[in-house]
Amino acid sequence: MRQARQQDGVISGSQAQAFGLTRRQIARLVHSGEWQYPGRGAYLLPGAHPHRSRVRAALLHRPDAVACEITAARLLAFGGLPVARPDEPVHLLLPFESARRQPNGVKLHWDDVPHAHVTDIHGIPTTSAPRTLVDMVLRRDRDDAVALMDAALRGGHLTDLTSARSLAFGRRGAAARSSWWRHADGRAESPLETRLRLLLTDAGVAPEQLQWQVRDDSGRVVARLDLAWPSRQLDVEADGTSVHGGPVALYRDRHRQNLLTTLGWTVLRFTWPDVTQRPGYVTHTVTRALATGSGQP
């Protein structure tokens, strides 16, 4: 059906009947598994968009609702988001006077949102990038919040955080999080890099440079380092499995590390479990490497 394709594979019961299907025929399609029924009078057809279709179904019969929070972040294509779980609810923002009934699979939030804070993504009303970032920051811990700030900056969703910070002013939890904004840095390429940077900064060994370029004797760039202390020729790498987990990446990383070693650099590599489960090991290792670095203090 053309209308369903225009709606990311979603069709309402009334639309299906308008195309000539009876309720019994619709029920058979659902029973056979050919159509999915997420509820709220909506049906998902084969090939439905895995994310937008669920949002459209949740918005059905709610003309005053706006996609928000992580649902909006996914629509806006924010980077650094966790992999969506099958049971992840669709987050919707509604005016205060709207009904408070929570449908299955939907998480409702209430606030008065000015039109300027809403954008259109594939025909879906969605909170703007600054508003989405603030909504998420105010509901997360510092490391997750700063990782989201970093990703929003790196992805070009925001050129700076001024607009987002102004939207946070006066909201619940904003004062306690006011110092977090200064930690943001759009050069971070992953949430793991952000967490590693914050861990080391808290320990008093903040990196001197981020994404530092190393050149060989001919002046050719041979490596770009996640966290670097050029004065000590120390490179600290955040090894996420999505980038460094495959065999090609393994050989590339070994070649790169050997090359850096021949140029006098010390290379330390840390994984997600290291940073989140063994922070003391990470800070101790980096501190010792800095104390014995080959450069001048």
Both 200 and 280 in one domain: the answer is yes
Other C-beta atoms lying within 10 Å of the C-beta of residue 124:
18
53 lies in some domain: no
C-alpha–C-alpha distance, residues 207 and 229, integer Å: 6
| Mean pLDDT, residues 65-78 taken together | 96
Both 173 and 83 in one domain: the answer is yes
Tokens 């650099």 belong to 265
* Residue 251, pLDDT score: 65
| Mean pLDDT, residues 69-87 taken together | 93
52 lies in some domain: no
Enter the tokens of residue 268. 């330390």
What's the predicted TM-score (pTM) here? 0.86
Both 82 and 165 in one domain: the answer is yes
Both 24 and 73 in one domain: the answer is no
Torsion angle of the four alpha carbons 9, 14, 20, 26, in this order, in degrees rounded to the nearest 10: 70
Indicate the average pLDDT of the chain. 89
Domain that holds residue 166: 62-183
What 3-state class would DSSP assign to 43? Answer: strand
- Amino acid at site 274: D
| Mean pLDDT, residues 106-120 taken together | 92
| Mean pLDDT, residues 236-261 taken together | 75
Tell me the pLDDT tens digit for each residue of 24-60: 888 888 889 888 887 777 888 888 888 999 999 999 8
Other C-beta atoms lying within 10 Å of the C-beta of residue 204:
8
The DSSP element (H or E) to which 200 belongs, if any, is helix 191-202
Both 19 and 76 in one domain: the answer is no
* Residue 246, pLDDT score: 54
Both 68 and 157 in one domain: the answer is yes
C-alpha–C-alpha distance, residues 117 and 82, integer Å: 24
- Amino acid at site 202: D
Sort residue 14 into left (φ over 0), alpha (ψ -120 to 50) or beta.
alpha
Enter the tokens of residue 60. 């059905």
Tell me the pLDDT tens digit for each residue of 164-209: 999 999 999 999 999 999 999 999 999 999 999 999 999 999 999 9
41 vs 161, more confident = 161
* Residue 182, pLDDT score: 96
57 lies in some domain: no
What 3-state class would DSSP assign to 59? Answer: helix
Enter the tokens of residue 155. 């992805």
Both 146 and 85 in one domain: the answer is yes
